[in-house]
Amino acid sequence: MSADTPIDRGFFMPAEWEPHARCWMAWPCRAALWGDGMMAAQVAYAEVARAIAEFEPVTMVARQDQVAEASLACGPGIDVLPLPIDDSWTRDTGPTFVVDGKGAVAGVSWQFNVWGDNLPGYDNDARLAEEVLDHLEADCFRAPLVLEGGSIHVDGAGTLITTEQCLLNPNRNPLLSRGEIEEHLMHFLGIRKVIWLGEGLEDDETDGHVDNVAAFVKPGVVVATMPADPVDPNHRIMQDNVARLRGSRDAAGREIEVVELPQPARRENPNGVRQALSYANFYIANGGIVMPGFEDPEDAKARAVLDKLFPDRDVVQVSGSDIVVGGGCIHCITQQQPAGDPFG
């Protein structure tokens, strides 16, 4: 545990496209969330793990009693690390790793209040970031801010995008102003410019995580999902977000270029809640992109967009249909550990 903040020691959050040491995932285990879909989710998680393992090592955190099934499902070559967990969203509950540009790696542990819901039964997940950093013997910066990793995207050069719906939501940090939140992002991630989008996807149970609507693909370029149908409520939301992006400059003064991704056809969970289907919820691995498909005619078009945006990476599409029923997709269930020395 460190009493100072990351920028005091020169740490910042690198872009996801910088080299990784490893990808962290967690094995689906929360019956109350997944219900009858848990086994299908596990199969899908294992498929994502294997796809990423083609590019970089993957550690699958699993409850001790599920190590065997996780390992058998994932197969050879996937690390399984037994730690107490409540569910399986390492983007939100794992550490946000930071680097100092000189080879050292540390991590930030945010406060976790179950996506604003303050539900019981998430004590292990609230401690997961610290557990992972402790395992790596890496320094842990404990941030006095409720935040999930999926609510932010950075360009690794001082710019962060997020949504007002999530980060300014009174269910997260009711006592902090926009300016105070920006100050925390500066101190803990080395951010000099926050670009505020408005809302996330309709019915997104995370209160509008940015990783379901947009992602940096390199400094100055953001890919954003855009429904074709103007009647879709996401159309108005994303028109506003894209306008905000195009009207913004990043920390280096660059105007933001936006490339649009198609949106898969509307799908609902049995309870009538719209699923947050998004091709923007991809993971950037070493030399690869692992993106979701949804058995949707738009799959190939979305893939073609990312193929073009990442000419030096292999784009692999894995079905996200059995993951998204849990509330997120490939980016939400992964967390990159940047290359470098956690003991540095």
Residue positions annotated with a catalytic role: 332
- Show the DSSP H helices in 137-259 as ranges: 164-167, 178-189, 233-246
Calculate ∠ Cα 258-92-54, nearest 5°: 75
Within residues 134-193, the interface with a copy of itself by CB under 8 A covers 135-137
SS3 assignment, position 112? coil
Who contacts 90 (Cβ-Cβ below 8 Å, separation ≥6)?
24, 25, 26, 61, 128, 333, 334, 335
Within residues 28-67, the interface with a copy of itself by CB under 8 A covers 53, 55-57, 59, 64, 67
Identity of the residue, 150 or 288, whose beta carbon is nearer to a copy of itself in the bound complex: 288
Q: 221-225 and 159-163 as β-strands: parallel, antiparallel, unpaired?
A: unpaired
Identity of the residue, 71 or 113, whose beta carbon is nearer to a copy of itself in the bound complex: 71
Four-point Cα dihedral 138, 143, 146, 149, nearest 10: -40
Residue 10 touching a copy of itself (CB under 8 A): no
Who contacts 11 (Cβ-Cβ below 8 Å, separation ≥6)?
98, 99, 100, 104, 106, 141, 190
CB of 60 to a copy of itself, least distance (A): 10
- Stretches 78-86, 112-120, 146-154, 325-333: which one binds a copy of itself (CB under 8 A)? 78-86
Identity of the residue, 103 or 247, whose beta carbon is nearer to a copy of itself in the bound complex: 103
Identity of the residue, 138 or 181, whose beta carbon is nearer to a copy of itself in the bound complex: 138
Within residues 116-145, the interface with a copy of itself by CB under 8 A covers 131, 135-137
CB of 16 to a copy of itself, least distance (A): 14
Give me the amino acid identity at 188.
F
CB of 61 to a copy of itself, least distance (A): 10
Closest by CA position to 248, among listed 226, 228, 219: 219
Binding site for a copy of itself (CB under 8 A): 19-21, 53, 55-57, 59, 64, 67-68, 71-72, 75-84, 103, 131, 135-137, 286, 339-344
